[in-house]
Every structure is written in structure tokens, then in C-alpha cells.
Amino acid sequence: MSVKTDIAKMTRAKWFSGLLAPTRIQATAVRFATLAMIAVAAAAVPGFASVQNLSAVMFSASAIGIAACGLALVTISGKLFMLSIGATTAVSTIVFASLLGYGVPAALAGTVLIGLICGLIQGCLVGFLRANPIISTIAVASIITGIGSWFSAGRTITGDGTSLWLGVGHVLPGIPNQVLVFVAVLLAAEFLLSRTRVGRELQLNGINPVAAEFAGLRTGTAVTAAYCFAGAAASLSGALIASQAAQGNLSLGADLDFSATAAVLVGGVSISGGQGRIYDAATGALFLAIVGNILILKGYAFDTQLMVKGAVVLLSVLAGAALTRNRKK
């Protein structure tokens, strides 16, 4: 009996020390901050704890979280960010609305395929041709936006069909269907990162790309896979946004670059690569969705909301860096 007790104590100690490891302390802090913020807001902000409002929070977190899950793979691979997420998402709303006449499954498949192709192109540029990830993805974003503008003629495209079950439907009261999609993407990305050879190669490339190259790892393939997943995730986010009103235009989801990047950084994924989990980015998305919701309920103007969100991102990154330095001492 004492042996089992000792093993249980050792397991708990290992788990707790893992939470406070230098590479995990920011992610741990954000998790506790999210729980604390939910508790305080439920008690102090009128309407926050209502079923309708919590549903709105989950709607907001879903599209951002899906894109952040894909972006986290790119960041962990050591390639910083994919700055074409907003453009891919915006164009994907147009694609989804245009294909809606063929049914929601066909529209979803076609939209995700477009994102997969966009990600594949960028992955080949960065992973195999060694192009700069920032410049390359900005350039591709411009091309994607141009194609979307040409295709839609700058207009809002209205779908020939309905997608309300996906856009605003609920699997249970207060739990939108979009949350199920978010969870599915989260699990798929986490499985790819932690349970596959590609995922391990991604992490090793992020830690030390030169050593990974000398070790014979498939770094180009791994990076390309990360971009493919990120492109598909961005397109899926666009489909979810478009499904709410069966419409698409170039302004819908165009700000997802900042939101997804903020979720990744706030969640605790290392900007230098190699460190972090997919659920860190998901936590960051939920954290930012709650902050935004509280600001709306308190009646703050949109410009104030932007400033507060930017400040939260900056403070969380600085706090994470300070905590990591103190932990190493």
C-alpha cells in the first residue's frame, strides 16, 4: 500500500513540476488566469454567466481557435507565423458561399481543399525552397486577396442554400455545433504533433533546424505539413464564419491574422519554435474570447477593445518571459 502511495505522490510531484517548468510556466499561468477570469466575471459582470452569453463566447473562440491550432504547428516548427491566415479565411467565406448550393458537406470539402492548396504552396516555398516565412506568406496573402477580389468582383456572395445548423446550431443548449468542430481540429492537431513522426520532426526542427537537417530528418516535409494543416484550418474557420449567414466577402475573417497570432502567443507557444502544445493555442483563443466578451458587456467602444486586447497580448508575453527567466535562476 505504501509503495502505491509513494508512486502516486511521485506522479503528482512530476505533474506539478512539469506545470512550472520554464517552458510551460506561461501556459500554466494563462490557464489559471482564464479560470480566475471566468469566476470573477460570472460574479461581477451582469449577463456573463447566462447561457446565451457563454454560447457567444464559444462561438467567438471556435473560429479563432481553429485557425490558432493550425498556426501553432507553424510556430512550433520554428517558422514564426503564417501571415496569410486572414486572407485565406476571407476568401474561404466566398468559396463556401459559392459552393453552398451543392450542399454543406460539399461546400466544406471544397473550401478546406482550397485552404490546403494555399498551405501547400506556402509550405513548399518555406520548407523546401527556404524562402523567408514572413515575406512569403505576406506575398501569398496579397495574391489570395487579389484572386478573391477578382472572383467576387468586390461584392458579398450569398449562398444558394442554408447552413444554419453549422453556423448557429447547438448540439446542446449553450454548446454550439462549431465547438465540436473546434474540438475535433484541436484533437487532430495535437495528435499530429505529439503522436506522429512528422510532429516530432516539427518540434526538433523548431528547437535546432541545423541539427535536425544533419540528423537526416524530413524537415521540409514536416514544415510543409504544418503549413498545409494551417491553411486547411484557416479555410475551415472561414467556412464557419460564412455559415452563420450563408454569405462571404473579403472583410469577413480578414482580421484573423492578429487574433490567431495573439492566441498562439498568449497561450504560451514559444515564438522561437520547438516548445508548446496545440491546446496552449486553444487556451489562448478562449482567454482572448472571454476578454473581448467582457469588454462588450461592459459597453466599451471597439477601439478601446482593440487597445485592451493588444495590451493583454503584450503583457502576457512579457510576463511569460519574466517568469521563465526567474524560473531559470
| Position 152, amino acid | S
| Cell reading at 228 | 498545409
Answer whether residue 16 shows pLDDT above 50: no
Q: Do the domain assignments include residue 198? A: yes
| Cell reading at 174 | 449553450
Answer whether residue 125 shows pLDDT above 70: yes
Answer whether residue 1 shows pLDDT above 60: no
Q: How many helices (H) and strands (E) does the chain have?
A: 14, 4
Of 237, 294, 255, the residue nearest 57 (C-alpha): 294
Q: What is the value of pTM for the model shown?
A: 0.90
Q: What mean pLDDT do residues 260-286 have?
A: 91
| Structure confidence at residue 84 (pLDDT) | 96
Crossing angle (nearest 10°) for helices 104-123 and 133-152:
140
In whole angstroms, what is the distance from residue 139 CA to residue 6 CA? Answer: 57
What is the span of the domain harbouring residue 196? 50-328
| Structure confidence at residue 9 (pLDDT) | 47
Q: What mean pLDDT do residues 311-319 have?
A: 79
Q: Do the domain assignments include residue 215? A: yes
Answer whether residue 24 shows pLDDT above 80: no
Answer whether residue 98 shows pLDDT above 90: yes
Crossing angle (nearest 10°) for helices 302-328 and 25-44:
140
Q: Do the domain assignments include residue 252? A: yes
Q: Do the domain assignments include residue 22? A: no
Q: What mean pLDDT do residues 38-52 have?
A: 93
Q: Looking at the 3D structure of the chain, how many domains does it have? A: 1
Q: Do the domain assignments include residue 157? A: yes
Structure confidence at residue 296 as a pLDDT band (50, 70, 90):
very high
Answer whether residue 8 shows pLDDT above 70: no
| Structure confidence at residue 315 (pLDDT) | 81
Q: Do the domain assignments include residue 36? A: no
Highest mean pLDDT among 29-43, 178-192, 211-225, 257-271: 178-192
Residue with cell 493555442: 281
In whole angstroms, what is the distance from residue 55 CA to residue 289 CA? Answer: 11
Q: Do the domain assignments include residue 91? A: yes
Q: Do the domain assignments include residue 148? A: yes
Residues contacting 310, CB < 8 A, separation 6+: none
Which of left, alpha, beta for 299 (phi over 0: left; psi -120 to 50: alpha)? left
| Structure confidence at residue 326 (pLDDT) | 64
| Structure confidence at residue 274 (pLDDT) | 87
Q: For position 189, which CATH number holds? A: 1.10.3470
In whole angstroms, what is the distance from residue 13 CA to residue 283 CA? Answer: 23
128-148 pLDDT, tens digit per residue, is: 999 999 999 999 999 999 999
188-246 pLDDT, tens digit per residue, is: 999 999 999 999 999 999 999 889 988 888 999 999 999 999 999 999 999 999 999 89
Answer whether residue 7 shows pLDDT above 60: no
| Position 231, amino acid | G
Beta strand spans in the chain (E): 157-158, 170-172, 175-176, 247-248
Please tell me what DSSP assigns to residue 250. Answer: T
> What are the backbone angles phi and psi of residue 299, rounded to the nearest 5°?
85, 20
Structure confidence at residue 23 as a pLDDT band (50, 70, 90):
low
| Secondary structure (H, E, C), the chain | CHHHHHHHHHHHHHHHHHHCCCCCHHHHHHHHHHHHHHHHHHHHCCCCCCHHHHHHHHHHHHHHHHHHHHHHHHHHCCCCCCCCHHHHHHHHHHHHHHHHHHCHHHHHHHHHHHHHHHHHHHHHHHHHCCCCHHHHHHHHHHHHHHHHHHHHCCCCEECCCCCHHHHCCEEECCEEHHHHHHHHHHHHHHHHHHHCHHHHHHHHHHHCHHHHHHCCCCHHHHHHHHHHHHHHHHHHHHHHHHHCCCEECCCCCCCHHHHHHHHHHHHCCCCCCCCCCHHHHHHHHHHHHHHHHHHHHCCCCHHHHHHHHHHHHHHHHHHHHHHHHHHHC
